[in-house]
Amino acid sequence: MLELVQSSDICTTLTTDPLYVVVEGPIGVGKTTLVHRLKERMDANLVLEVVEENPFLSQFYANPKRYAFQTQLFFLMSRFRQQKDLYDEGNLNRNDFLADYHLLKDRIFAELTLEDEELELYESVYESLAMCIRKPDVLIYLTADEKSLIERIERRARPFEKDFDRRYLSRLSERYQHHFSEYSDTPLLKLNTTRINYVTDQEPIDEIYSEVKRLASNWRAGLGIEACISSNFK
């Protein structure tokens, strides 16, 4: 059981508009896994981040300072194009959408990796692009303890992550916590996944799906952000 801590038990009926649900969190937390599992529960189109296509990524892990700006700018433009296509498709397609990233992710990484002058330039580009994409109906923010994150990263054995800096992972998790402790743009479901097994267990998936629908219903009913935040954090 997730034992969700809800800010409101009010639940209303969803409209017929398709849902756009985003899963976010630090590296290795299980975003793509959850998206694939939720797809089995929803009639949804998947929007998956394309990480391996970034030609600077392996160089960034080997030399972050030298390749941070190129890596981040490539990700920003790639993610924006994908999100913009989603916005256009959303006007024509009646299926729900599930994404394993949000454009905000790019900003979190940029704050961590870019120098001051680079970040200033990046911010100006980001702000212009962020206004042109669709906001999610619900954002699911995942976290886990550092030991679990490292184990999951090692288990998936991506070649460009073989020289992964654990200190970088710790700082990244802190940046995520900072951003989502103050996040109020959309309904938010916060889940600590350290002890949740949604890889094979169906019950957590059913509970997460029900909570997503409840939060989206509250938001569309105009109940305000306080009725649209839920968490299993203790």
Is 100 assigned a catalytic role? yes
Distance CA 68, CA 156 (A): 23
Q: Which amino acid is at 113?
A: T
Q: Which amino acid is at 184?
A: S
Q: Which residues lie below 8 Å from residue 83, measured CB to CB, with a gap of 6+?
A: 47, 103, 133, 134
How many CB atoms within 10 Å of residue 165? 11
**CB of 221 within 8 A of CB of 19?**
no
Q: Write down the catalytic residue from 9, 85, 88, 100.
A: 100
At CB < 8 A and 24+ separation, what contacts does 209-213 make? 209/38, 209/41, 209/42, 211/2, 211/4, 211/6, 212/19, 212/21, 212/38, 212/138, 212/140, 213/14, 213/19
Q: What is the CA radius of gyration of the chain?
A: 18
Q: Which of 49, 95, 97 is nearest to 75 (CA)?
A: 49
Positions annotated as catalytic residues are 100
